[in-house]
Amino acid sequence: MIRKKKPNTMNMEQPEAVQTNRAYVRFVHLSPNAPSVDITLPNGPALFSDVTFEETTEYIEVRPATYTLQVRPARNTNQVVLSVPNVTLEPGKVYTVYAVGLLNEDPALSALYLEDGV
């Protein structure tokens, strides 16, 4: 049986109207053995919900600040599989957070966050 891979459909377009007093962020799930995930703030709401492997979310607008992001299995508010402290999102800038690596294997699950369009 031949299994076809889902094509990578990562949208490279940035938000149309970037406000100079806001920051923009999206998430890309690139961990092949991790389940669908939610990206949350500690004790806060999900910023992105039920993100599957190879999925790229839409950008969301946030208040510029330094955040700790938490990666959790989708719909599991008790388990954190990755905590990403000191994610600084500056005003007027656009970012992508990438989850890479493997869950409970090597190379370990980690996150990269990069400013887009630089």
CATH (domain of 110): 2.60.40
The answer to whether residue 97 is domain-embedded is yes
Nearest to 84 by CA among 102, 68, 104: 68
| Structure letter (DSSP) for residue 20 | T
Q: Are the CB atoms for 31 and 99 separated by under 8 Å?
A: yes
More confident call, 69 vs 8:
69
CB count in 10 Å sphere of residue 47: 19
Q: What is the extent of the structural domain holding 35?
A: 23-115
Q: What pLDDT score does 6 carry?
A: 43
Q: What's at 79, amino acid-wise?
A: Q
Is-above-0.95 flag for pTM?
Answer: no
Average pLDDT score over residue span 52-79: 96
Number of domains forming the structure of the chain:
1
Separation of alpha carbons 20 and 16, rounded Å:
13
The answer to whether residue 10 is domain-embedded is no
